[in-house]
């Protein structure tokens, strides 16, 4: 289908829609999500996550469960999740064999990884969650009378070979999408494909890191020049903080790309941190809504919004690893930091935040790879750094971030925040590098209380 405009043909506007794990958790959730697609003729490309809980199970298996009984138990859980959806299909026979084959592959890979786990095997195994869910979702759309076709995204979603946290090759993805995906868009079919997964140049399966389906959807939207990106999840949009932390969290109707990017970067799980990069490059507005209650509306993320507020939201990111490096040789010396970063770079340690004093430097480690959990400093990096300075590693910490606008110029912003934290011990305070955030570490045990306290003072009181 195309719109004819006197003497040249304009492609119809396309929406790329992404549904997260809870939106495809079971037959009922998949049916609700499928209805959203059916009701929107522009929604021609749908990317979905694995059914809720499936990626966690696959990660456990990928980490290598040596005990046969425990492994079988996880495999059985995977079978049950998918079988219960198959059981509710009108035509289970249309997908039963494919699902069975994929689950059999999972079993073989899980056995393999139990004796010799590897990052390649992890990605190959974990990718099965999305491969499974897309078969079921396509079938449900078809049983609802829509015309849907399943598409394996891996040959299009070209990445490098950093398994567990692969970096997409944007130019290659655009080229591959124009060859393999664009022709399908000319048909009347809805394309159902996988978030999270891709493949490297040699065809090996890769993943973009936990929560990466949002990013996949944005990359596809960019590659096909979609007009809108929709992210359907279990809450009606972005809130002033995670609604699971406080029921007083307030919905945000409209937010700028830069504010939403900061929220995502600082732990607002609703968006994978890289999601907005492609949307910003291509200026694609992003809508976030709840697949359980689409009628409730949601949040629009755009380039500019009218009157961005001083304080926008609070984000919380746990599983932080803090590394403190201390050396008297650092005092008035040059070259120390460059040596530190050379060593970290050599051991592929990605640094997130950093603060320095005359004799020490504290940094937190990046933690977005598919393996999950708090990242550790590799032993070889610790050894190399120890030759240069004292190395201390601390975990059990969370990062609290206040997101806003022109925070550095806002008189009294720091007092408004730290004046409320007399009962807590914030550490590694970062303020000033970005006009959009102020952040600090706190102990995991007090982190939710800190967010609640600040939310009450900065958001609820203002209301």
Feature table: binding site for ATP: 18-21, 233-234, 239, 244
CB-based closest residue to Mg ion = 211
Measured from the CB of residue 239, what is the shortest distance to ligand ADP in angstroms? 4
Largest CA distance in the chain: 74
Measured from the CB of residue 362, what is the shortest distance to ligand ASP in angstroms? 29
3-state secondary structure of 200: coil
Q: Which region, judged by CB under 5 A, interacts with Mg ion, from 66-74, 204-212, 234-242, 434-442?
A: 204-212
| Distances from the Cα of 379 to the Cα of 320, 323, 387, 454, angstroms | 18, 13, 13, 38
Question: 215 or 311, CB closer to Mg ion?
Answer: 215
3-state secondary structure of 430: strand
Residue 195's binding partner, choosing from Mg ion, ligand ADP, ligand ASP, none, with beta-carbon cut-off 5 to 8 A by kind? ligand ASP
Residue 404's binding partner, choosing from ligand ADP, Mg ion, ligand ASP, none, with beta-carbon cut-off 5 to 8 A by kind? none
Tokens of 22: 């809870």
21 binds ligand ADP (CB under 6 A): yes
Q: Are 18 and 220 in contact (CB under 8 A)?
A: no
Q: Give the phi and the psi of residue 102 in degrees, each rounded to 5.
A: -65, -40
Residue among 369, 390, 318, 378 nearest 343 (CA) = 378
Residue among 290, 306, 310 nearest 298 (CA) = 290
| Known binding positions for substrate | 55, 130
3-state secondary structure of 412: coil
Number of residues that bind ligand ADP (CB under 6 A): 20
Kindly identify the residues of this chain, within the stretch 295-324, that bind ligand ADP according to CB under 6 A. Answer: 313
Question: 233 or 405, CB closer to Mg ion?
Answer: 233
Q: How far apart are CA 92 and CA 86, in angstroms?
A: 5
Question: 17 or 442, CB closer to ligand ASP?
Answer: 17
Residue among 279, 255, 253, 250 nearest 405 (CA) = 255
Residue 212's binding partner, choosing from ligand ADP, ligand ASP, Mg ion, none, with beta-carbon cut-off 5 to 8 A by kind? ligand ASP
Measured from the CB of residue 196, what is the shortest distance to ligand ASP in angstroms? 4
> Residues 424-458, buried b or exposed e (16+ Cβ, 10 A)?
bebebebbeebebbbbbbbeeebbbebbbbbbebb
Residue among 75, 61, 130, 71 nearest 104 (CA) = 75
Of 163, 239, 266, 424, the residue at the interface with ligand ADP (CB under 6 A) is 239
User: DSSP labels for 12-50?
Assistant: PP-EEEEE-GGGGSSHHHHHHHHHHHHT-TTEEEEEE-P
Residue 55's binding partner, choosing from ligand ASP, Mg ion, ligand ADP, none, with beta-carbon cut-off 5 to 8 A by kind? ligand ASP
Of 129, 168, 211, 294, the residue at the interface with Mg ion (CB under 5 A) is 211
Q: Which region, judged by CB under 6 A, interacts with ligand ADP, from 16-24, 67-75, 218-226, 343-351?
A: 16-24
Q: Are 330 and 389 in contact (CB under 8 A)?
A: yes
Say which DSSP state 166 is in.
P
Measured from the CB of residue 89, what is the shortest distance to ligand ASP in angstroms? 22
209 binds ligand ADP (CB under 6 A): no
270 binds ligand ADP (CB under 6 A): yes
Question: 233 or 437, CB closer to ligand ASP?
Answer: 233
The enclosing H or E element of 353 equals strand 351-356
Q: Which region, judged by CB under 6 A, interacts with ligand ADP, from 134-142, 263-271, 345-353, 453-461?
A: 263-271
Question: 19 or 336, CB closer to ligand ADP?
Answer: 19
Measured from the CB of residue 150, what is the shortest distance to ligand ASP in angstroms? 17
Question: 65 or 451, CB closer to ligand ADP?
Answer: 451
Kindly identify the residues of this chain, within the stretch 4-33, that bind Mg ion according to CB under 5 A. Answer: 20
Q: Are 270 and 223 in contact (CB under 8 A)?
A: no
Measured from the CB of residue 370, what is the shortest distance to ligand ASP in angstroms? 7
Residues in contact with ligand ASP by CB under 6 A are: 20-21, 49-50, 55, 129, 195-196, 210-213
Q: Are 247 and 34 in contact (CB under 8 A)?
A: no
Q: How far apart are CA 212 and CA 199, in angstroms?
A: 14
Tokens of 280: 């910003």
State the residues that interact with ligand ADP by CB under 6 A.
20-23, 49, 211, 233-235, 238-239, 241-244, 263, 268-270, 313
């Amino acid at each position: 289908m195309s719109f004819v405009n006197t003497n040249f043909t304009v492609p119809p506007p396309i929406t790329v829609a992404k549904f997260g794990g809870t939106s495809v958790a079971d037959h009922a959730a998949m049916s609700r999500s499928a209805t959203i697609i059916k009701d929107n003729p522009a929604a021609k490309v749908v990317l979905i996550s694995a059914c809720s809980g499936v990626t966690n199970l696959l990660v456990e298996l990928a980490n290598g469960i040596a005990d046969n009984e425990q492994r079988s138990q996880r495999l059985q859980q995977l079978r049950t999740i998918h079988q219960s959806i198959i059981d509710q299909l009108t035509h289970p026979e249309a997908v039963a064999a494919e699902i069975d084959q994929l689950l059999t592959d999972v079993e073989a890979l899980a056995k393999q990884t139990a004796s010799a786990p590897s990052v390649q095997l992890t990605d190959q195994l974990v990718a099965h969650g999305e491969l499974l869910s897309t078969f079921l979702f396509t079938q449900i759309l078809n049983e609802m009378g829509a015309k849907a076709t399943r598409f394996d995204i891996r040959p299009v979603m070209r990445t490098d070979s950093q398994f567990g946290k692969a970096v997409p090759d944007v130019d290659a993805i655009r080229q591959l999408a124009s060859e393999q995906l664009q022709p399908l868009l000319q048909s009347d079919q809805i394309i159902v494909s996988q978030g999270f997964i891709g493949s490297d140049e040699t065809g090996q399966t890769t993943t973009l890191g936990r929560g990466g389906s949002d990013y996949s959807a944005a990359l596809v939207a960019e590659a096909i020049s979609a007009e809108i990106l929709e992210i359907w999840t279990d809450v009606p949009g972005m809130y002033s903080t995670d609604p699971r932390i406080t029921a007083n969290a307030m919905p945000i109707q409209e937010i700028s790309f830069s504010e939403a990017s900061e929220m995502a970067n600082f732990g607002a799980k609703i968006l994978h941190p890289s999601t907005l990069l492609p949307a910003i490059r291509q200026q694609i507005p992003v809508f976030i809504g709840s697949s359980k209650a689409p009628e409730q509306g949601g949040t629009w993320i755009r380039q500019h919004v009218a009157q961005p507020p001083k304080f926008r939201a609070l984000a919380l990111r746990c599983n932080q690893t803090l590394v403190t490096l201390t050396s008297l040789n650092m005092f008035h010396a040059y070259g120390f930091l460059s040596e530190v970063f050379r060593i970290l770079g050599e051991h592929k340690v990605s640094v997130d935040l950093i603060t320095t004093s005359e004799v020490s430097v504290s940094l937190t480690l990046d933690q977005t790879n598919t393996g999950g959990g708090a990242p550790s400093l590799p032993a070889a990096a610790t050894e190399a750094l120890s030759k240069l300075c004292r190395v201390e590693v601390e975990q059990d910490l969370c990062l609290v971030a206040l997101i806003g606008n022109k925070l550095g110029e806002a008189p009294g912003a720091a007092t408004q925040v730290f004046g409320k934290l007399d009962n807590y011990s914030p550490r590694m305070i970062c303020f000033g590098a970005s006009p959009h955030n102020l952040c600090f570490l706190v102990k995991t045990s007090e982190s939710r209380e800190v967010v609640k306290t600040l939310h009450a003072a900065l958001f609820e009181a203002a209301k």
